[in-house]
Every structure is written in C-alpha cells, then in structure tokens.
C-alpha cells in the first residue's frame, strides 16, 4: 500500500506562544496545534484533564424529560416503584452502559431489569423480535433503550401503542422523522421545534456529539444523582459516581469514539480507576487477558474488549454483563475463563472467514473501478463479519461491507474510509435494504441476498460521485519533521502527556530525513514477519521496530523514515524505539 505523506503545517508564532506560555518543547506544542488546540487555556486543559470540567448533563437534549419520567417510576414518588427495563446492546459499549445504569439505578432505589438482545435470533438494536421477547419475560410500562433505538421508529410506535413509555439513550444517527419516544437523549438531536429549530439536526462541534453510549449512561447517572440530591434522596448524597469510571473507560475506548473533549476526561480518569478496579469481573478478565498492573488504551482495545465482545458476537452478551455485575470472585473467574475460550473460538471463525473473503476479493479486485467492496455468503457467521470488514478495509483501503447468512435475509457490517459517510450512502440504497443504520465510519445492514449485486452497484455509483481517486490512497499524517537527535527519552516522555491516544487524538507520528541502516536486521515472530534493527544519522542511532514487514521492500542506503516514537522498557532499561510506519528513498 502506498501512503500519501502529509506533513502537518502549524503557525510558527502560535507554536512559539504555546511553547513559551506552557513551557513545552516546540515538538509537543506543534502536536497540540495539529490537534486544533491553539488557545493556551484550551491546550492546558487538554494536558490536564479533570472531571470538574465535565459539562452539565442537563445540557444534553431531552435529558430533563428523561430524568423526570424516571423519577415518576421511583418509589419515593408513590411509595411503590414502577419497574423498568434497560434494553441494551451486545457490544462492549452497550454492555458497559447497561451494567452502569443497572447498578446506579438499583443503588438509588429503582427496580431495574436488564435485557440484552441475542445477535443471531433478534438482530441489532431495538428490533421487534427483541422487544417482544423482552416484554414476554417481564411486562413493564417503562423501557430505557441504551446504545440503540434512534432509528427504531416502528418498534417505538409499537411500544407506545401498548402503553409502554420509551426513553432512548443513544449516540447513533437519528431517523427523520425520529422515533416517537417520550425522551430521545441523543447528542445528535437539535433543539426542540418549539425553540425554533428542527427536531433533528446533526451537531457538529459539541463535545457531547462524540460521547459513547456508556459516556451517555454516565451523564444520565450524573443527572439522576444531581436531581436526587436536590430532592433530598439520601442514597444520592452518598453515591460517588467515580466508582463506575472503569466501565466508562472500557466502553468508550472499545467503541472507537474520539478521545477528545469529555471522552478524554472520562477515559483518563477511568483508566486510573481500571488499574485499581474492585470489580471481581474486571480483575478476573485482566488476569485471563494477561493485562499488567497498568492498563492503557491498547490493553482495553486489544485484550479486554475482544473477550467481552466474544459472547455477543457468537451468541448472547449475557455472560459479559454477568461478569461486570458479579460480586463473587469465583463466579467471575469462571465467566472470565469462559469468555476467554469463546474469544479463541471467535478468532478461529474469524480467520477462516477472513481468509475466504480476502481470497475472493483479491481474485477480482479492480482498483480503478471498485470504490466499495461488498461481499456476502450464507455460511459466513454474522457475529464476526464486522471484524472481517475491518481487515478488508485495511488491506484494500476501500469502504467494505461484509454480510453473512441469516435465513431469508443476510446481515452485515461495514467499515468506511476517511471522507466517505457509509451511513449516508446506505440511506441512498434504502429501497434495497430491510434495515440499516450506524455511523459515517461503521454501519450495519439487513438485506435479501438477491439484492446483494444491486447494492454493490448502487454503492459504487454513489462512491464514484462522492469520492476522488486520491481519497482511495490513505494519508499518512505526520506531526513534524525532526532530527534523530531530537528523539530523546526526555522528549518522548513529554509526548506521553498526550495520552490516552486513539481515535481523534492519534499517537505522535514524525518524519526523520536521511537515516541509514546500522547493522543487520533481526527477524521475529512465528512466521518471521516482524523486524527489529537500528538506524543512524550522524553520531545518533536508535532502535527500530517494524511490524508485519516480511512481504515489504526493505530500505537500503539512505532513506526517509516515517515513524511513531515510543519508549521500550526491557529488564529495567528504558530506550528510544521507533515504530516504522513507512519509508521512502531519499529524493
């Protein structure tokens, strides 16, 4: 894959001001400017995230209506509680949000029951099958849909017709017209029509627009505690919501929302909480996943989250929810072990399908014509097609939609590339789809298999109008050009103040010109697919790590290096290590 190297441009005067007033290195100041943090106060707040800077939860659309309806179900209102069901989702974000609200509302006195849909039997979101099964188990008059519901117009209408009030707490794109919920707490909803604005309008700049479902759950919990203290509820006065920040960090990182604004504050505090978590379930999960005493974004995203996700991907996410809620260490160990085993099963299924899909695509891929990749087979497991879509997207750098069989309809997941709104593209194909929804970068569909070819054609026609050929070549964003001598332990340690990094706040990536190999290449890995070597520029040398490079051309003579600087800790020794992103011959 050929990258387009793009060196970020920053105003030297602005970088100088950040350097002087915040006493930073020019490199860190430039990285802050590249992230849009150009005001001294804003940059300082970013480097020092504090919970006290969270926004008032009642600023979210319809939060007041949701809280008022929940209080009407509280036993303090009439002396008898009105039971409610939390209808969640089966991914990590949905499960952590469900766990958080189940615990907080129960602690505050509500009678709460949780329900997670079965991926294979009931499908995604607030489906008709899911809510019917939910109400068969436990008839209620109040349902709180979490991490789903913003597109469930028919389901919410059906519930209202049966006397069930629905509160939706969600961050996905909203149907137009929106579902007729009693309260739709979704940051993408604009001001009410009575205030002179459309009832549904996308918010483009507010921090709340990027909150995960578990982030929204934390905001709802905050609103309930805040109003509970005003009402004199003793339980609210004693409740410390920081106890649930470990769950917030888990769900937020796993859902790949931008780690900026309020998300950065919540995840920074949540990772610290996760390190010392008192939850038997998370302690057991960390043990089976071999996560060290300090959990970072990598540990959450690649070790903990996949194991929590494994249950919902293959069957039901109920075990993941039980793991988060249990107070019993023995039960936690049993469930964590089972989830670990299920994750290995998921990996094996995923590898088989990914190999089949990639062979299929490689055999017919036309780079100049195929702007969107759409594939499906009846035997592909619908629980892993989203992961496979991500692999296809990474290899070919095209929006990819992969579907598996599910009776008369196939269900699938899509992953997009920068600049292509997959959810908007699917709306243009709505007549071919039974269901669809999601984000610009990730979406889900349900389609009849006979419509697969027409869907592929339509999406490609849309993409050719919406995208340029240049957009199908991935950009490699570089924060700065530096000399090898600048990449010292002190400088890289300073750059770690940008953590937690992730979506919306990527790790620092730099370009070093004119380096040369300094000794032999050492190959590593089961298939000798990774390499470790040293580079040199003048008297300075540094260790280099290059993942999955066995089939790539190797640099010779002098070359420019695009890399992510990091610190390698081994046997108590710390050294500079450069993770290779790309290289090119010196011009």
8 A C-beta contact, residue 224 and residue 70: yes
**Is pTM, for the whole model, over 0.75?**
yes
**Beta sheet of 165-169, edge-to-edge order:** 112-115, 84-87, 142-146, 165-169, 183-185
**Whole-number pLDDT of residue 299:** 93
Q: Kindly give the parts of the chain with pLDDT less than 50.
A: 191-206
Residue owning tokens 């570089």: 478
Asked whether the domain spanning 61-244 has the same topology as the one spanning 4-31+479-585, the reply is: no
Residue pLDDT, tens place only, 101-155:
999 999 999 999 999 998 778 777 898 999 999 998 888 999 999 999 998 999 9
Chain mean pLDDT for the chain? 91
Instruction: Provide the pLDDT for residue 208.
Output: 57
Both tokens of 542, joined, read 């540094």
Q: Please give the structure tokens belonging to residue 291.
A: 């996560």
> What's the CA gap between 279 and 192, in Å, rounded?
40
Provide the pLDDT for residue 220: 98
Quick one: pLDDT at residue 436? 87
Q: Which residues lie below 8 Å from residue 492, measured CB to CB, with a gap of 6+?
A: 565, 566, 567, 576
Domain ranges, ordered by start, for the chain: 4-31+479-585, 61-244, 365-472
CB atoms within 10 A of CB 336: 25
Architecture, CATH, for domain 61-244: Alpha-Beta Complex (3.90)
Alpha helices in 397-438 (DSSP H): 422-427
pLDDT in tens, 156-170: 999 999 999 999 999
3-state helix, strand and coil shares in percent for the chain, rounded to the nearest 5: 45, 20, 35
| Confidence at residue 202, expressed as pLDDT on a 0 to 100 scale | 38
The CATH label, of 2.30.30.60, 3.10.310.30, 3.40.50.300, 3.40.50.1820, for the domain at 365-472 is: 3.10.310.30
Contact between 575 and 543 under an 8 Å Cβ cutoff? The reply is yes
State the pLDDT at residue 308: 94
Nearest to 373 by CA among 120, 383, 363: 363
Contact 112, 102 (CB under 8 A): yes
pLDDT at 1: 52
Alpha-carbon radius of gyration of the chain: 25
What sign does the dihedral 261-267-272-277 (CA atoms) show?
A: positive
Q: What are phi and psi of 583, to 5 degrees?
A: -150, 165
Confidence (pLDDT) at 209:
66
CATH of 4-31+479-585, one of 1.25.10.10, 3.40.50.300, 2.40.50.460, 1.10.510.10: 2.40.50.460
């Amino acid at each position: 894959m050929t990258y387009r190297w793009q060196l970020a441009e920053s105003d030297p005067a602005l970088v100088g001001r950040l350097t002087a007033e915040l006493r930073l290195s020019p490199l860190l100041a430039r990285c802050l400017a590249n992230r849009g943090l150009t005001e001294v106060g804003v940059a300082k707040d970013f480097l020092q995230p504090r919970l006290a800077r969270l926004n008032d939860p009642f600023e979210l659309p319809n939060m007041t209506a949701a809280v008022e309806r929940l209080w009407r179900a509280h036993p303090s209102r009439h002396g008898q509680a009105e039971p409610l069901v939390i209808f969640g989702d089966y991914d990590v974000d949905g499960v952590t949000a469900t766990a958080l609200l189940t615990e907080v509302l129960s602690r505050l006195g509500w009678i709460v029951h949780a329900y997670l849909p079965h991926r294979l039997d009931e499908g995604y979101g607030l489906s008709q099958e899911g809510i019917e099964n939910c109400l068969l188990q436990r008839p209620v008059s109040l349902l709180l849909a979490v991490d789903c519901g913003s597109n469930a117009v028919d389901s919410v209408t059906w519930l209202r017709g049966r006397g069930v009030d629905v509160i939706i707490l969600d961050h996905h794109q909203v149907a137009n017209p929106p579902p007729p919920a009693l309260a739709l707490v979704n940051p993408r909803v604009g001001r009410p029509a009575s205030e002179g604005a459309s009832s549904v309008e996308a918010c483009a700049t507010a921090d709340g627009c990027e909150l995960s479902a578990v982030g929204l759950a934390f905001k709802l919990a905050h609103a309930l505690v805040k109003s509970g203290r005003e009402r004199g509820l003793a339980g609210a006065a004693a409740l410390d919501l920081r106890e649930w920040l470990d769950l917030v960090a888990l769900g937020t990182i796993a859902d790949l929302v931008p780690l900026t604004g309020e998300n950065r504050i919540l995840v920074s505090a949540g990772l610290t909480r996760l390190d010392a978590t008192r939850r038997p379930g998370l302690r057991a999960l960390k043990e089976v996943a071999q996560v060290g005493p300090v959990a970072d974004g990598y540990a959450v995203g690649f070790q903990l989250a996949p194991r929590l996700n494994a249950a919902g991907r293959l069957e039901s996410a109920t075990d993941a929810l039980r793991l988060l809620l249990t107070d019993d260490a023995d039960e936690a160990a049993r469930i964590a072990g089972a989830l670990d085993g299920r994750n290995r099963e998921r990996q094996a299924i995923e590898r088989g399908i990914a190999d089949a899909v990639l062979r299929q695509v490689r055999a017919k891929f036309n780079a100049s014509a195929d702007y969107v990749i759409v594939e499906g087979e009846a035997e592909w497991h619908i629980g892993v097609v989203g992961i496979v879509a991500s692999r296809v997207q990474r290899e070919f750098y095209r929006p990819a939609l992969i579907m598996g069989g599910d009776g008369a309809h196939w269900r699938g997941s899509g992953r997009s590339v920068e600049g292509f709104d997959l959810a908007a593209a699917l709306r243009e194909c709505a007549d071919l789809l039974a269901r669809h929804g999601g984000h610009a970068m990730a979406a889900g569909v349900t389609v009849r298999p006979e419509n697969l070819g027409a869907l592929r054609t339509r999406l490609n026609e849309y993409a050719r109008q919406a995208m340029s050929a240049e957009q199908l070549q991935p950009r490699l964003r570089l924060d700065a050009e530096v000399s090898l001598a600048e990449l010292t332990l002190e400088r890289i340690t300073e750059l770690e103040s940008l953590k937690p990094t992730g979506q919306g706040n990527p790790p620092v990536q730099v370009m070093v010109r004119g380096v040369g190999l300094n000794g032999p290449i050492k190959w590593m890995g089961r298939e000798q697919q990774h390499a470790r070597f040293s580079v040199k520029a003048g008297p300075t040398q540094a260790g280099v790590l290059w993942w999955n490079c066995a089939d790539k051309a190797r640099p010779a003579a002098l070359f420019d290096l695009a890399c992510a600087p990091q610190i390698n800790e081994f046997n108590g020794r710390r050294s500079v290590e450069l993770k290779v992103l790309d290289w090119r011959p010196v011009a």
